[in-house]
Structure 1
Amino acid sequence: MSSPPVPCLCLRDARDQRLGTAVREAADHAESALTRMMSFQGSPLPDLDTAHAADPTWGLPLLMQAGHWLSLDEATHLPRALALLDQAAPLCAEAPPREQAHLVALRAVAEGRWQQACRLWDELLLEHPRDALALQWAHHWDLCLGDTLSLRLRPARSLPEWDESDPLFPHMLGLYAFGLEENNLYPQAEDVGRRAVGASPSAPWAVHAVAHALDMQGRFEDGTAWLRQHQPRWAEDNVFAAHLWWHMALFRLEALDLPGVHRLMDAHLTGPATPTLAQRLDAASLLWRMHLLGEDVGARFVQLLHEAAVPPEEAGHWAFNDVHLMLAYLGAGELVQAEGWLARCAARAMQPEEARRSNHAVAREVGLPVMRGLLALACGEAEQALATLQAVRPMVRRLGGSHVQRDLVDQTLMAAAAQVPHAPVGRALLNERLMAKPATPLTRRWAERLRLSLS
């Protein structure tokens, strides 16, 4: 006589999704870590360590740690993430299919197959539309891929399945608001983002989405006021703080309040305030914009380059980072180091074993040409810079990042055009800006540099 089946003792999370643990303490700490991951409030790692200690047989806390390290987009964190995935793999053998799917998707991310990972998360979300991890992680790598359509459509497919009383719901709205903004639906993005912040002031991605919508409309004073209004919530112990200070600085730059930009740099965008590579690259992109306007920021670039301490394995990891690191070398006047950086990135992009990585074609077709154009401008070869950057400009979205981040390419093109007599691309780019948003002080400064009238 066979024994009766043992009932499953596994718990369910706050969204009624089966977990691979029967230990309440482990489940509660994993949920707390998830909230921190969505809100960027503090580090999720202590909660995940506690969850793993409470149930060492449960793989999900290890997967969440691996996803955390991978989402920092630094090659130096890859070994740690891979070790966590290896540790989690045997624990996931009998786990719910949802958790097994996360293992496979994160393994694809670690191997550089970002598009494959996003497809796996899309499949998972068809069955589990309330899987916040899948939504958060796919959103992140959509941004890395420049997949603007998925940034909007993926949360749109899932949001109607969510309970609006769920504490994570405002964060989901924030993801959707950002997707709307990246698809140029600015009024809708602003409405959704404000709704999310109204439901939870501690929803920094929603604050961020509204800031983007205001920036793209040229509403720099509204943007400054918006960030200041919500500053008490996002500026303390929040991983998003440095990036939102960067947005604040961009609003002040749009107003040509250069002393204000310097004050923000001193207080929030240098030294201990920017411990991660992504934060330092934000600082590099801001300094480059100031450099293009003729502001003397060479000493700041030198300090930034010293703080960044870029390891060799970073070259070619992600073309977006490669380009921004090139800005740091050029801004610091380190042309020999810039040429060496370009050579290391090119060497990796040409390796056959790199072909399966999502970054491979992007690096060769977009990242390397952009870096060559930047180097040409720094070397005084404005005509070459103009031709190179103009040719690659239609593909720049593939670098990843946002419209606001990639605008540095357009501003570099205008700086090159200002140095080339009778370059019609300068007027064309200025016309694009004027059709997209009102003439801001920054746009007027570019018109002056290009010797064009806005009347």
Structure 2
Amino acid sequence: MAFFDLRGNPVGCGVAAARDAAESALWRLMSYYDSPLADLDAAIAADPGWAMPYLMKAGWLLAATDPGELGAVAQHLDAARERLGGAGVRERAHLEALQLVLEGRWHNACRRWDDLLLEYPRDALALQWSHQWDLHRGDAAGMRMRPARSLPDWDGDDPLYPFVLGLYAFGLEECNLYPQAEEAARQALQADRRVTWAVHAVAHVLEMQGRHDEGSAWLRLHQHDWAEGNEFASHLWWHKALFRVEAMDCAGVLRLIDGHLTAETLTTTTQRVDAAAMLWRLHLVGEDVSARALALVDAWADADDEPGYYAFNDLHRVTALIAAGQLPRAERWVARCAERALAIDDARRVNHTMAREVGLPLMRAFLAFARGDVDTAADILYPARMSARALGGSHAQRDLIDQTLLAAAVQGRRRNLGRALLNERLMAKPATALTRHWASRLGLPREARA
């Protein structure tokens, strides 16, 4: 007898209680409200022979890009593999894709999910997980096109439909389709105000269009939905701080960091990356954040001492070490990243190319900046920024590269480069206090700072 989930996808489980618990876990995975682990444990208890709850545990852990969790991931995948007797093609495909993620072969994993979605366009797990690894790989087109291929096959009344629409909204934003992104996100939130990807997508639109006052108001409007009990909260606090950085409200940024992004409150790598990114932006404009950065890197070292897993995270770790005044530690971290990137047995991993072609040049440029060799830093950063998408993350996150380039330009002899970069920014969105700060440091005439 065949069994199906609420979207008509085949599942290898005939126990209704287990399927219901897995459905609850799926909602938590897509909404980020609380951990899905309790629901998944309930699904396992109801049907110990079902592979899918173990796959969902593995995918949830992998999404954090935390190398300290890889051992647990492997155990969950082994447990799923032992239970494939009653599994169909769909669950086997998820196992194959997650195994590829574990091996660092993220491109291959997303292609496997693409194939799966052609057969099962309403597979929410495939949409959620492929979206996350598109973001980690900097594949903006994938984040836009994959939901676009699937959404017409969904029922608009499905409780997960708004969450898929939120994924689509963010993909549109990363492809610079800002009006369409904002419309899709607002549509998702009209259906369910708890779609944090939609809140997030609009925050990105407002950031990229220079609508920073609107951005602060937007996050404040939805704060009661995302600020408590949601794993997305730390990143949305980061966005609130980012709007204040543009206003050069450094005191306000520090209050947000101290309230929501302190070393002792952060439990995942992605949260530490957010904290490092914000501290670095303050460091670039002359704020002393060394004590906060030192607390962050010491806590980070206790949780994770594996360089070279993901270059995006490594770069942010280097910024935190530099801001903490720990240049020798930063140099050692980069050296260890380079050693791994040169290892033959690392060649199949996506990070192998990512680190060699983008991550390591950027980290070396940041080290040069820290040593005071700002012209060398600028000379590396200027061409490297054109390939920075391959580092992963969003446009807003990768802007720390341009901010560092501006800081290098104003401190050295590459001032024409700084002027050109500011021109580029001012053609894209209105001037802010931050852009006027850099224009003033470059000695540009007042009309250039409008």
Contact residue 12 and residue 87 of structure 2 kept, 8 A = yes
Distance change >3 Å, CA 351–CA 422, structure 1 → 2: closer
Q: Deviations over 1:277-312 (max 9, x none)?
A: 110110110110111011111111112112222566
AA aligned opposite 1:154: R
- 1:166: which partner in 2? 158
1:401-416 maps to which residues of 2 (within 5 A)? 401-416=393-408
Q: For 2:223, what is the secondary structure of its paired residue?
A: helix
- 1:4: which partner in 2? none
Is 1:188 aligned with 2:180? Answer: yes
Q: Deviations over 1:355-384 (max 9, x none)?
A: 111110110111001000000000010111
CA distance in 2, matches of 1:393, 1:120: 30
Q: For 2:48, what is the secondary structure of its paired residue?
A: coil
2:252 to 252, 255, 260: 260
CA distance in 1, matches of 2:247, 2:374: 27
Contact residue 84 and residue 92 of structure 2 kept, 8 A = yes
AA aligned opposite 2:308: G
- 2:66: which partner in 1? 74
Q: For 1:395, what is the secondary structure of its paired residue?
A: helix
Distance change >3 Å, CA 148–CA 422, structure 1 → 2: closer
CA distance in 2, matches of 1:312, 1:220: 34
How far does residue 423 in structure 1 lie from its aligned partner after superposition? 2.9
Distance change >3 Å, CA 375–CA 422, structure 1 → 2: closer
- 2:383: which partner in 1? 391
Contact residue 11 and residue 24 of structure 1 kept, 8 A = no
CA distance in 1, matches of 2:90, 2:305: 33
Is 1:316 aligned with 2:327? Answer: no
- 1:210: which partner in 2? 202
Q: Deviations over 1:206-254 (max 9, x none)?
A: 1000000000001111000000000010011100000000000001111
Is 1:367 aligned with 2:366? Answer: no
- 1:5: which partner in 2? none
How far does residue 94 in structure 1 lie from its aligned partner after superposition? 3.3
CA distance in 2, matches of 1:210, 1:417: 31
CA distance in 1, matches of 2:78, 2:442: 56
CA distance in 1, matches of 2:397, 2:317: 14
Contact residue 174 and residue 203 of structure 1 kept, 8 A = yes
- 1:200: which partner in 2? 192
More moved, 231-240 vs 271-280: 271-280
2:126 to 129, 134, 158: 134
CA distance in 1, matches of 2:445, 2:58: 53
Q: Deviations over 1:8-31 (max 9, x none)?
A: 1x4311111111100011000000
- 2:232: which partner in 1? 240
Q: For 1:443, what is the secondary structure of its paired residue?
A: helix
- TM-score between the two structures when normalised by the length of structure 2: 0.98
- 1:94: which partner in 2? 86
CA distance in 1, matches of 2:306, 2:166: 30
- 1:277: which partner in 2? 269
More moved, 420-429 vs 389-398: 420-429
CA distance in 1, matches of 2:85, 2:422: 57
Q: Deviations over 1:312-351 (max 9, x none)?
A: 6520000000100001110101111011001100000000
Q: Deviations over 1:160-205 (max 9, x none)?
A: 1111101101111110000000000111111111111111011001
AA aligned opposite 2:4: R
AA aligned opposite 1:279: Q
Q: For 2:229, what is the secondary structure of its paired residue?
A: coil
Query: Aligned residue pairs: how many?
Result: 447
- 1:225: which partner in 2? 217
CA distance in 2, matches of 1:441, 1:298: 24
Distance change >3 Å, CA 235–CA 312, structure 1 → 2: closer
Is 1:62 aligned with 2:89? Answer: no
AA aligned opposite 1:436: A
Is 1:432 aligned with 2:424? Answer: yes
CA distance in 1, matches of 2:188, 2:216: 19
Is 1:40 aligned with 2:32? Answer: yes
Contact residue 167 and residue 198 of structure 2 kept, 8 A = yes
Distance change >3 Å, CA 311–CA 365, structure 1 → 2: farther
More moved, 49-58 vs 269-278: 269-278
- 1:18: which partner in 2? 10
Q: Deviations over 1:57-83 (max 9, x none)?
A: 100000000001111101111111011
CA distance in 1, matches of 2:342, 2:302: 21
AA aligned opposite 1:251: F
1:27 to 11, 19, 36: 19
- TM-score between the two structures when normalised by the length of structure 1: 0.97
How far does residue 422 in structure 1 lie from its aligned partner after superposition? 5.0
- 1:143: which partner in 2? 135
How far does residue 391 in structure 1 lie from its aligned partner after superposition? 2.7
CA distance in 1, matches of 2:357, 2:442: 29
How far does residue 419 in structure 1 lie from its aligned partner after superposition? 1.2
CA RMSD of aligned residues (A): 1.1
Is 1:352 aligned with 2:373? Answer: no
Task: Percent identity, please.
Answer: 57
AA aligned opposite 2:440: E
How far does residue 260 in structure 1 lie from its aligned partner after superposition? 1.1
The runs of at least 4 aligned residues of structure 1 exceeding 3 Å deviation read: 310-313
CA distance in 1, matches of 2:305, 2:103: 14
- 2:287: which partner in 1? 295
AA aligned opposite 2:146: R
Q: For 1:104, what is the secondary structure of its paired residue?
A: helix
Q: For 2:82, what is the secondary structure of its paired residue?
A: helix
CA distance in 1, matches of 2:383, 2:173: 26
Distance change >3 Å, CA 192–CA 144, structure 1 → 2: same
Contact residue 348 and residue 354 of structure 1 kept, 8 A = yes
How far does residue 394 in structure 1 lie from its aligned partner after superposition? 1.2
Q: Which structure 2 residue ranges, 5 or more long, are not aligned?
A: none
CA distance in 1, matches of 2:44, 2:446: 62
AA aligned opposite 2:291: A
- 1:3: which partner in 2? none
- 1:85: which partner in 2? 77
